A and B are shown apart, each in its own frame.
Chain A
């Protein structure tokens, strides 16, 4: 994985998801399906291009009780890291 983002600490992801090009509600649907496949404390890193993801993924983490470790947008690509809490 690309951990060469300077300030970002390198986290080892259990699963990498490519959500680029997908529109609402599919990124959230894919996250809901993917989170069940990693163990508790497991980590999913994902990339997406739908700008709605910037609001949706933090909201999804709050409603489902998962932890958003990081989220950053570079040009059109949004990269975020979620840890499964429950």
Chain B
């Protein structure tokens, strides 16, 4: 009988706390994703080892602009999901008009765009994880996510990180 050896039987664990920050990103609204990337880049820039865990609607922030889904419902859902350029604000979106207006205003005031902020987070070494269960339920494959966010984990991995972090935010 073949014997499977787990790659990581090491259970001693890492130190209980480190200079870490963890952000759980559940929301898929432009404003909330903006806050999430601002805090994540700020934490990383301040020398914290920063991780973002994307789940449910939040996966849109790291989704490629592709069609997803296998079943009828999965493919229907795909029609309503966006990528980082397509998500609208949580209030006043008005069928996309709000998104357009906020993008204009952010540009007028020289604020960084969402794709720029996400790239800054990547450049600063922010680790991006995706939720296994959300991927299953929403019928995304790993390849539907940007290359930097293809590390798929579950809640126990998140708990380990949260326990080691100075703060954990749920956005």
Contacts and interface: CB of A to CB of B under 8 A. Distances in A.
Mostly helix, strand, loop or mixed at chain A's interface? helix
B46 A26 contact: no
B52 interface: no
A5 interface: no
A28 B110 CA distance: 15
Contacts of B111: 23
Interface residues of B, number: 15
A31 interface: yes
Contacts of B110: 21-23
A33 B42 CA distance: 12
B118 to A, nearest CB: 12
Contact of B41 (A23, A29, A63, A64): A29
A38 B120 CA distance: 20
B104 to A, nearest CB: 15
Closest 8 CB pairs of A and B: A32-B45, A63-B46, A23-B111, A64-B47, A28-B45, A25-B42, A21-B110, A29-B120
18 contacts: A21-B110, A23-B110, A24-B38, A25-B112, A26-B112, A28-B42, A28-B45, A29-B120, A29-B124, A31-B45, A32-B46, A32-B124, A33-B123, A33-B124, A63-B46, A64-B46, A64-B47, A65-B47
Given A21-B110, A28-B42, 13 more contacts: A23-B109, A23-B112, A25-B42, A25-B45, A25-B120, A28-B41, A29-B41, A29-B42, A29-B124, A32-B45, A33-B123, A60-B45, A64-B47
